Amino acid sequence: MQLTHYKDLGSYSDLLCDEDASELADDSPDRSRDAEFPDDSDESIAGFIEGEADYTPGFDYPARFRSNSLDSTSRREAVAWILKVSAYYRFQDLTSYLAVNYMDRFLASHRLPQNVWALQLLSVASLSLAAKMEETLVPTLLDLQIEGAEFVFEPRTIRRMELLVLGALDWRLRSVTPFTYMDFFACKLDPSGKSATYLISCASSIILATLHDIEFLSHCPSSLAAAAIIRAAEDVADLALIDAGIAVSWCIGLTEDGIGNCYRLMRRVAEGAMLKNPLVNMGSRFSPASLPPAKRRRKMSIGGRIS
């Protein structure tokens, strides 16, 4: 089988950037956190909500997909690949979310070359950075390129792309995400803590499921987290009556419209998925088997020649 390989990106000037605290204690391996807040205080959470816009792609980013300025199909395939690799290596849910967040923030401010391999390179670099941030055991850059990767890139090429991503993100990798709020909102919804493990696990699965759909890019991390917790609570008898009107009281900065709109979108997406496939459940754990089959990988050489 012939392979292709990319060694250098020097001729693609569009990739160049214009340069102008501990996690919550948790015994569960699937519950990851990306920021600390002392004593789960309302003030700390409100501070995260106030600054979360600094870690999102920007309000006009989803519109660029709707206008076909950016390719939503290619993004969806990139997200699927990131989730498949994360599942293969059993990365934390937060790692998967961060990788997609880095990719989206880069695409929001930088134009990739119109090449089939460019978005995959960005996906690999984004996942590599996220894994280095959150995982204790990180695969090599070559081992990371599995699960349907169409091309394989040399480590030095990926490292260069990582630097471009870091520059685009202003080195702000410790992002505010829905996982920042998950424990806090679960505690607000169920102060007894009896359903906390279920609520957080189910809500985390819902958050990962939203990554595929560009419509969720219009919703801030706090609204996503609150809506996912409410959605998860629907299966808990004593908590099923919680709604956006109640959730807005959990912390200063939350809005009933923001949570309600996000929750309704989650319901519509889940119902649409079930119409297409009755076995689909938006709250179920992510399953790599639900993704497209792997393609044959190609290894790229200088100038994109096939060797």
Domain residues of the chain, as ranges?
5-14+59-175+292-304, 178-276
pLDDT of residue 230: 92
Predicted confidence (pLDDT) per residue in 34-89, tens digit: 434 345 467 788 889 988 888 988 888 988 888 888 888 899 999 999 999 999 99
Determine if the pTM surpasses 0.95: no
Torsion of CA 150, 15, 174, 153, to 10 degrees: 30
CATH of domain 5-14+59-175+292-304: 1.10.472.10
pLDDT of residue 239: 78
The span from the CA of 152 to the CA of 121, in Å, is 9
**Region 268-279 average pLDDT:** 60
The span from the CA of 68 to the CA of 63, in Å, is 8
Q: Is the pLDDT of residue 33 over 60?
A: no
Q: Is the pLDDT of residue 216 over 60?
A: yes
Per cent of the chain over pLDDT 90 is 45
Name residue, tokens 């950016």: 70
Here the tokens at position 223 are 């609204």
Predicted confidence (pLDDT) per residue in 134-185, tens digit: 999 999 999 999 877 778 899 999 999 999 999 999 998 989 999 999 999 9
pLDDT of residue 282: 52
Q: Residue 226: which residues within 8 A CB-CB, separation 6 or more? A: 181, 185, 244, 247, 250, 254, 259, 262
The span from the CA of 227 to the CA of 301, in Å, is 46
Name residue, tokens 């997909």: 65
The span from the CA of 8 to the CA of 30, in Å, is 37
Here the tokens at position 296 are 């044959």
Lowest mean pLDDT among 1-5, 118-122, 215-219, 270-274: 1-5
Q: Which of 144, 128, 148 is nearest to 78 (CA)?
A: 148
